[in-house]
Amino acid sequence: MKWHDFLVTDAIIADLKATDRDDAIIEMIDALIANGAAPADLRDDLIQQIVEREKHGSTGFGKGVAVPHVKHERIEKMAAGIGVSQKGVDFNALDKAPVYSIVLLLSPKDKPDEHLQAMENIFSNLQKDTFRRFLRQSTTREEIEDLIQEADAQQLTG
């Protein structure tokens, strides 16, 4: 599975305004909803589920990256947004460092295999120092889209 299979490019936020975890989640959920990735009436439920999950264990896995995610029965198609913060977000990450790059994934509850494939793609890219560095340095949606296209192309050859 490649990024273009689930990334909502109009839900890429190159300059997140939020400085704390909950506000960052809200900002990203709002971008996904605004671009048709989820029904507007799910907003509060999705935010609550993701924040609840974060309270039990942060998805900020270190190195300036977090991957909050939720499976919901009313999500019909997997969708992700990317947020880049220039200031850093306190995500209670495992390494206690601020998070600069966030990938938020919404998945249909009845498609766990697709969810795992998307998570595998996200994590395999975020494990790469160069990908993380370029993502963090991106200041426009276009730069992030170019990086994602390059990652998808490398997946074909790698």
Q: Which residues are catalytic?
A: 69
User: Which DSSP string do the residues of 75-101 spell out, in sequence order?
Assistant: --S-EEEEEEEEEEEB---TT-PPEEE
User: Which DSSP string do the residues of 117-149 spell out, in sequence order?
Assistant: HHHHHHHHHHTSHHHHHHHHH--SHHHHHHHHH
